[in-house]
Amino acid sequence: MFIPLGFSQQSTQTHLGNIVYYTNDHQPWQTTSASRETLVFLHGLGGGSSAYEWSKVYPSFAAEYRILAPDMLGWGRSAHPQRNYQPEDYLQTIEQFIEHTCTEPVTVIASALTAAFTIRVAIARPELFKSLILTTAAGLNELNQNYQENFFTQLAATPIIDRLLYSTGVATSFGIRSFLEQRQFAKKERISSELVEAYLQSAQQDNAEYAALSFVRGDLCFDLTQYITQLTTPTALIWGKASEYTGPQVGHRLREMNPEAIRIMYQFDDVGFTPQLELPGVTAGLIRWFLPQLESNQSSASDENLAVVED
């Protein structure tokens, strides 16, 4: 696994197993992080996912904030229970991770399905959160779409074939690069060999297929629009227009449903599913721009505040 300079690996226990996380407690950040506010970075779910997903972004904040970037349960170096994962597993472990590592309300930066889970945790436990900055936040069943209604998902639900599919199509460098090129990135030249290797190391951990196949089968998916009106935590959404799974129309719909909480919807025109991997410097800049806006008591819900960036 890849750990940025000045960060170390720590861990905390949840009811389903150990959660490994990375934090800025070494030089040059050691003397600056202890008394600072906390930013928690949560990666999305998919074959080979890990905290590496945010590793080109969160060092930009290490001088000002205490950083926590966990590998989600079943991914990276965290525990890999042999189970059919369900949404409740992630709702509970996200809540427990924040409770165990933070003493004050925190800002969480999260992506994809994990971002959707984080919204649900913030609805249930608003006292844990200061604000949310989320990329491509969707449960993957929004706007009358059903993630499970496709051939690949049904194939992944077939015993024996599912393991073969994972070992040959996911946990190989060719499979990972092909997936990133075809489904996750808008421009394949932005995919580095380091990125592929980081995904490969995570995908080849013992029992890594359990969480990955639960995701691929659609066991973790839900319709976020059924919950979004209950959100009260100040939130910003970042969306890549070229997102393969779910487009920015989902983000616009979520904001329309709850403009008091979702104060910002920012759309990249030439970015795919993971802006934090494809354009990490710009994504870091957006997070820095949004943080003070979300701390303001005034909502910025008018159309003039909807920003679009082209690259």
Contact status, residue 176 vs residue 198, Cβ threshold 8 Å: no
DSSP tag of 127: G
Neighbouring C-alpha atoms within 13 Å toward the C-beta of 50? 27
- Write out the residue range of the structural domain in which residue 45 sits: 8-309
Question: Phi/psi of residue 18, each to 5°?
Answer: -75, 135
Q: Does residue 1 form part of some domain?
A: no
Q: Does residue 230 form part of some domain?
A: yes
Q: Does residue 74 form part of some domain?
A: yes
Checking phi first, is residue 81 left (phi over 0); if not, alpha (psi -120 to 50) or beta? beta
Q: Does residue 110 form part of some domain?
A: yes
Q: What is the pTM of this model?
A: 0.91
- Confidence band (pLDDT; 50, 70, 90) for 300? very low
On the question of pLDDT at 231 being above 60, the answer is: yes
Q: Does residue 3 form part of some domain?
A: no
Reported as a single tens digit per residue, the pLDDT across 189-220 is 999 999 999 999 999 999 999 999 999 888 99
Reported as a single tens digit per residue, the pLDDT across 266-290 is 998 889 999 999 999 999 999 999 9
Q: Does residue 297 form part of some domain?
A: yes
Structure tokens at 198: 């980081």
- Provide the CATH number for the domain around residue 147: 3.40.50.1820
* Coil vs helix vs strand at 131: strand
Q: Does residue 260 form part of some domain?
A: yes
Rg (CA), the chain: 18
Q: In whole angstroms, what is the distance from residue 297 CA to residue 300 CA? A: 10
The domain tally of the chain equals 1
Structure tokens at 41: 């970075």
